[in-house]
Amino acid sequence: MSVHPVAVELEAWIDPSQAFAQWAGRHDHCFWLDGEATESGGWSWVGIGTPAVSEVVTAAPIGAATASAQRWPAGRFRGGWVGWFGYEVGAAAAGAPVHPDAADAPSSLWLRASQWYAFDHARQRVFFVDHEDTAERGVVPDALLPEGEVRPEDIAAPAAAVARHGADQYAELIERCRAHIREGDAYQLCLTTRFTVAGPPVDPLAVYLRLRAGSPAPFGALIRSGDVALLSASPERFLDVEGERVRTSPIKGTRRRSPDPAEDAALAAELVGDEKERAENLMIVDLMRNDLSRVCEPGSIAVDELFAVHSYRQVHQLVSTVSGTLRPGIRVSDLLAATFPAGSMTGAPKLSAMTILHRLEGAPRGIFSGCLGWIGEDGGLDLAMIIRSIVTHPGGAYVGAGGGITWRSVPSAEVAEVALKARGPLAALGASLPEGW
């Protein structure tokens, strides 16, 4: 007989950072799904779990939530799994060649949530949720009633990261992408690279607090399992299932922010009017429409938002949203087989793009450009793209970054965009871009 979670509202607000610090001090496997930076205030979940087998997670059915879920007070996540799938997991399943990973971090990791705090930022309410079958179920342990807020320590002196590709080499790879596009091998290619920071293990919470302070994002996350952690300031939703509807919100198109309001508005207007950016975004919209049609009811696919500018602290992004009604009987594995890796991180046509990028990039992406979030036992899920993110492990850390290449791409502009995307995560690590970038 399955155990239903119990939610108990706390009498006073506690800070999510301190809640995570308390969990992390007692458990090897913990998570913080950080929704504070969403426009509506959002929900965050901070808790602990036990490692789960990926095949169990992907076998979960998705679709219409049960009636009891509608009465649940503690946000959309009411039990299930929290974790990630790395890029190569999806690429290999889709039939693309992949590079062996260095195994500095697992390519997929999922925790079955056992206890967590649910934070309603808009209403300043906190719930303690217990999914364990124990005599103390639903009783908040005194040791898990934190006070105050954790603040990251200052970084003494930044160190330079090491790039997988130098800026000049990356520019050459862009030209090779354009050559493939000219020959008709692809319409668009999402070329990526990696920046590595070597050194002793870092404190994931301290790094994440610096990351979220400098780059607040609607899909922030810190997932730690043993000595490996994924820290994300992702602005991009990959897949969201609520009821029978599934939606995806690909990002293609980036401009920096400016402290000058007039210049900032001009940059946003330039982004939405740029033919190259619009063409790049539209290609991915068409790709995601096709992907979702494989698991959705005929005629149900809709483009809910096209070429919308979403603004974050460091960048403006060009975002579109595609949705559809799921067919009955769809499981997580079916949805991932149809959509993962996301088209915004591959290009189009997807299999051809992944095959070309395998040759050009010359090394594994790892967790970067995969997806992270939660998968619910009630049929819901919410997954974000793993971009603007950091992976920490015993040997150091790495940051992935990239961008979509079309025939209209200008190498110098694309190199600058990669640098812009990598700068925030590297700064959170106390590192700077390598010379030339």
Query: pLDDT at residue 71 above 90?
Result: no
Distance CA 277, CA 288 (A): 17
- DSSP structure string for 83-116: EEE-HHHHHHHTT---PPP--SS-SEEEEEEEEE
pLDDT, the chain, mean: 91
Query: pLDDT at residue 82 above 70?
Result: yes
Distance CA 425, CA 389 (A): 6
What is the per-residue pLDDT for 65?
62
30 with 207: CB under 8 angstroms? Answer: no
Bridge-based pairing state of the strands 431-432 and 371-376: unpaired
350 with 94: CB under 8 angstroms? Answer: yes
Q: Residue 10: is it exposed, middle or buried by C-beta count within 10 angstroms (0-12/13-18/19+)?
A: middle
- Angle subtended at Cα 411 by Cα 409 and Cα 414, rounded to the nearest 5 degrees: 75
pTM: 0.92
Query: How far from each other are the two terminal CA atoms of the chain, in whole angstroms?
Result: 57
| Beta carbons within 8 Å of 130's beta carbon, 6+ residues apart | 5, 6, 8, 114, 115, 137, 138, 139
In a 3-state reduction of DSSP, which class is residue 377?
coil
Q: Residue 416: is it exposed, middle or buried by C-beta count within 10 angstroms (0-12/13-18/19+)?
A: middle
Per the model's pLDDT, the better-predicted residue between 150 and 375 turns out to be 375
Which residues does residue 246 pair with via DSSP β-bridges, in sequence order? 241, 324
Give per-residue pLDDT as tens, 367-417. Answer: 999 999 999 999 999 999 999 999 999 989 999 999 999 999 999 999 999
CA dist list (Å): 145 to 14, 79, 105, 312: 8, 21, 31, 32
- CA proximity to 45, closest of 128, 109, 150: 128
What is the per-residue pLDDT for 433?
96
Give per-residue pLDDT as tens, 21-68. Answer: 999 989 999 999 998 767 656 899 999 999 999 999 999 999 876 545
- HSE, CB side, 13 Å, CA atoms: give it for residue 248: 31
H or E element: which one contains 163?
Answer: strand 162-163
Give per-residue pLDDT as tens, 98-120. Answer: 998 876 899 999 999 999 999 99
What is the per-residue pLDDT for 67?
45
Among 38-42, 329-333, 339-343, 407-411, whose mean pLDDT is lowest? 38-42
What top-level class would CATH report for the domain 6-140+159-432?
A: alpha beta
**Residue boundaries of the structural domains of the chain:** 6-140+159-432
CA dist list (Å): 395 to 227, 362, 392, 426: 10, 21, 8, 16
385 with 344: CB under 8 angstroms? Answer: yes
Compute φ and ψ for 315, nearest 5 degrees.
-140, 155
46 with 116: CB under 8 angstroms? Answer: yes
Give per-residue pLDDT as tens, 191-200. Answer: 999 999 998 8
* Residue owning tokens 């906190």: 126
Kindly list the catalytic residues. Answer: 236, 252
Give per-residue pLDDT as tens, 188-232. Answer: 999 999 999 998 889 999 999 999 999 888 899 999 999 999 999
Distance CA 359, CA 355 (A): 7
Residues in the chain: 437
Distance CA 170, CA 42 (A): 38
396 with 186: CB under 8 angstroms? Answer: no
Q: Residue 71: is it exposed, middle or buried by C-beta count within 10 angstroms (0-12/13-18/19+)?
A: exposed
- CA proximity to 241, closest of 37, 80, 50: 80
Which residues does residue 385 pair with via DSSP β-bridges, in sequence order? 371
Query: pLDDT at residue 135 above 70?
Result: no
Query: pLDDT at residue 138 above 90?
Result: no
DSSP letter assigned to residue 142: G
- CA proximity to 370, closest of 234, 252, 246, 243: 234
